[in-house]
Structure 1
């Protein structure tokens, strides 16, 4: 493939943008390809190269790069009426009613502008509602670029995970391993009266896709209720992708107090949201005493795109289609890995997928999970598959990024550029796309 135009664009961007990009994960080596346009399940770069796209904007593009006609019409209509108003619009109410009708935890919702803004606001809300300061988070979980969760270490010995955050922020954040009930119990034994909330993704989605083991999410629900803390599910990635319109909380049958959203809820436009019990949500200003506000919150074009996208999904076979297609892909990947790299682990559910380059595996794969790790204790991979962020970090991350990703790109398949971020199947993908992708995996592995 020729990449002269992308190389020249990257050279220009280095002069005017830090690292040449506006989001760190886009800075692949030696340089990223620059996308010129999308086409269904594909993107075409500045040099005319065509790729089957499984990044899907890091999750928002449930329909790929071609919006269904009702979604496109709604976006065009609201955009032509005016960019924004600084006043409420009916479409905000329509969208809020739809979400509250379908998501178990949501009685009221506040729309914001990004997943990060949603989780920042949710943490502030939890602290304001409970009168407590400490937040429990999962190691390897990601909740946006916010000070309260960019923290590493052990309970009682934490530090910011990046420069620019005062040490004092880390004092109130307690990281624990995902899927470790004993660790949660120990934290609540010591800090229970000071914990405002446990904040977790129901499925770790920024760390290779890690499923909860059976009963783990319910244990979090029980412990937080016992101690008067809130349970916050970060469904920025899983929301309206896992579990359909009920989201991951519906799939797992565990209802949090508060849920954060992003990505699909805005139909591919910048968005975030915080939803939860009415009593808790009413603590946000202007009805309560926890300040939250934003100029672009509830932007009419975003609300129209999100509402039309979810309405279309509700009225058509969207989730059945994308989930079946993704299962076909994961089953194919499982077969390929068993032959080519039996220590690797295929992960994912619904329309999410990834192959984690784990370093060890069982000798006998009889009765292994057939379409992505589901944390079945009867699976021979159970003791080897990733249970938390550290397990994924211990995989062959450099091999993924430096060799495998490049090999797949050269074969016309666009994957997320490191071992950690999820990949997604869209409504625009076809069985032919899946077959060609499996052939590319087979060759690259």
Structure 2
């Protein structure tokens, strides 16, 4: 493939944008990223005219793919033509809020914002105000956006900022514990329980390799929060409206969080975030309460129309049946390929997202119980070696993925996640032919 146009654009971008990008993960592909010209269903075409099967899908927001259904496109165009934003309420905000509250079990009220990061920032502020406490428990290897309360590393006995510019005071009020480790969570509450405002957790750790929870883990967190008067916050920015369908991951795991943060799919491909939860908490945001939260573009009518029509389309069509079916085909197909070509690697994922983690496991490949992606099954022969938390992915062959595997996939016309940590996403625009072509490419690249 020829990539001269992308190279030229990257050269220009380096002069005017740090690292040549506006989000650091986009610079991960080596030696430079491809620049996209346009999308088409489950595909993208780059600046050089090369066509790819796209499993990145905007890093998750594009559940329907790059082609908008006619009704969705009409709603967006109509709203944009009527005026891009008002700084005042509009009916479409109410309709979207009603839809989400009707379908997501833990959401009685909702506040729309502009990004997943803004949602988690606001959720942490709200939890601290509600409880009168400062500490937030997070999971090692979890991701909750570019915010000071979670850009922290360490463990329950000591933390420090994971980025320059984050004050040590934030790290001191953050308690990282290993995901899927009930004893560590219990120990953190024994030590800090009276000071813990909330536990902030992804139902499935989806930004570092996709790590499924062990059976009963989220129920245990729910009980700990209840016992100590803390709030349970589910970060469903990635899993929301992808895992568990319109009920989100909380419905799949049958856990009732106090607060839920959203992003990505809830905006139909446009910039969005949201904080949902119990009325007694959400109504403490200004102006009904005293916890300040505001934003010029919050509830933007174009975004609200895109998000609402996307979810309506999912409710009225076979979207989840389609994307989850393709996801299963990918994971099961990868399990067969890995057993033959790289038995030390681990297939992970659920519903409509998937990943092949370049783990360094000894022994047999994944067992039948995890053929549809690792499920943390103690009866699986690989249980002792599969990733139990996002930080385990650091021990995977990340350089092999970045320098050999991903470029080989790209040259076969397949785009997978920019690095070993991010997820791949199935969309309604993908087909069984895309799946078969992708599996053949995995065989070649491995």
Q: Same fold (TM over 0.5)?
A: yes
Residue in 2 that maps onto 1:132: 133
Cα distance, 1:365 vs structure 2: 5.0
Secondary structure of 2:368 counterpart: coil
Tell me the distance in 2 between the aligned counterparts of 1:357 and 1:53. 20
Residue in 2 that maps onto 1:5: 5
Contact 2:204 2:239 in 1 (8 A): yes
Cα distance, 1:390 vs structure 2: 2.2
Residue in 2 that maps onto 1:107: 108
Tell me the distance in 1 between the aligned counterparts of 2:255 and 2:77. 38
Tell me the distance in 1 between the aligned counterparts of 2:90 and 2:367. 56
Cα distance, 1:90 vs structure 2: 0.2
Secondary structure of 1:138 counterpart: strand
Tell me the distance in 1 between the aligned counterparts of 2:308 and 2:230. 32
TM normalised by structure 1 equals 0.99
Tell me the distance in 2 between the aligned counterparts of 1:368 and 1:201. 23
Secondary structure of 1:348 counterpart: strand
Cα distance, 1:166 vs structure 2: 1.2
Cα distance, 1:115 vs structure 2: 0.2
Tell me the distance in 2 between the aligned counterparts of 1:363 and 1:130. 48
Residue in 2 that maps onto 1:177: 178
Superposition pairs of residues 339-378 of structure 1, within 5 angstroms: 339-363=340-364, 366-378=367-379
Contact 2:339 2:365 in 1 (8 A): no
Superposition pairs of residues 3-402 of structure 1, within 5 angstroms: 3-27=3-27, 28-363=29-364, 366-402=367-403
Contact 1:7 1:31 in 2 (8 A): yes
Secondary structure of 2:370 counterpart: coil
Secondary structure of 1:273 counterpart: strand
Structure 1 unaligned residues grouped into runs of 5+:
none
Contact 1:368 1:380 in 2 (8 A): no
Secondary structure of 2:262 counterpart: strand
Flag the 1:92–1:364 CA change in 2: closer, same or farther, 3 A: closer
1:436 aligns with 2:437: yes
Contact 2:35 2:47 in 1 (8 A): yes
Tell me the distance in 2 between the aligned counterparts of 1:291 and 1:380. 51
Tell me the distance in 2 between the aligned counterparts of 1:364 and 1:441. 17
Tell me the distance in 2 between the aligned counterparts of 1:283 and 1:365. 47
Cα distance, 1:374 vs structure 2: 1.1
Q: Deviations over 1:361-392 (max 9, x none)?
A: 43365534111111111111211110012211
Tell me the distance in 2 between the aligned counterparts of 1:29 and 1:243. 35
Contact 2:114 2:271 in 1 (8 A): yes
Runs of 4+ more than 4 Å apart: none
Tell me the distance in 2 between the aligned counterparts of 1:334 and 1:227. 42
Tell me the distance in 2 between the aligned counterparts of 1:229 and 1:166. 24
Contact 2:367 2:382 in 1 (8 A): no
Tell me the distance in 1 between the aligned counterparts of 2:298 and 2:33. 31
Tell me the distance in 2 between the aligned counterparts of 1:300 and 1:243. 27
Contact 1:240 1:246 in 2 (8 A): yes
> Which has the larger displacement, 151-160 or 90-99?
151-160
> Which has the larger displacement, 388-397 or 237-246?
388-397
Contact 2:402 2:420 in 1 (8 A): yes
Cα distance, 1:156 vs structure 2: 3.1
Contact 1:362 1:384 in 2 (8 A): no
Contact 1:368 1:381 in 2 (8 A): no
Tell me the distance in 2 between the aligned counterparts of 1:329 and 1:159. 39
Contact 1:66 1:428 in 2 (8 A): yes
Q: Deviations over 1:392-436 (max 9, x none)?
A: 111111111111111111111011111111110100000100000
Contact 2:56 2:424 in 1 (8 A): yes
Cα distance, 1:325 vs structure 2: 0.9
| Count, aligned residues | 445
Contact 1:344 1:360 in 2 (8 A): yes
Q: Deviations over 1:240-299 (max 9, x none)?
A: 000000000000101100000000000000000000000000110001111000000000
TM normalised by structure 2 equals 0.99
Tell me the distance in 2 between the aligned counterparts of 1:364 and 1:236. 31
Tell me the distance in 2 between the aligned counterparts of 1:29 and 1:326. 27
Aligned Cα root-mean-square deviation (Å): 0.8
Flag the 1:365–1:262 CA change in 2: closer, same or farther, 3 A: closer
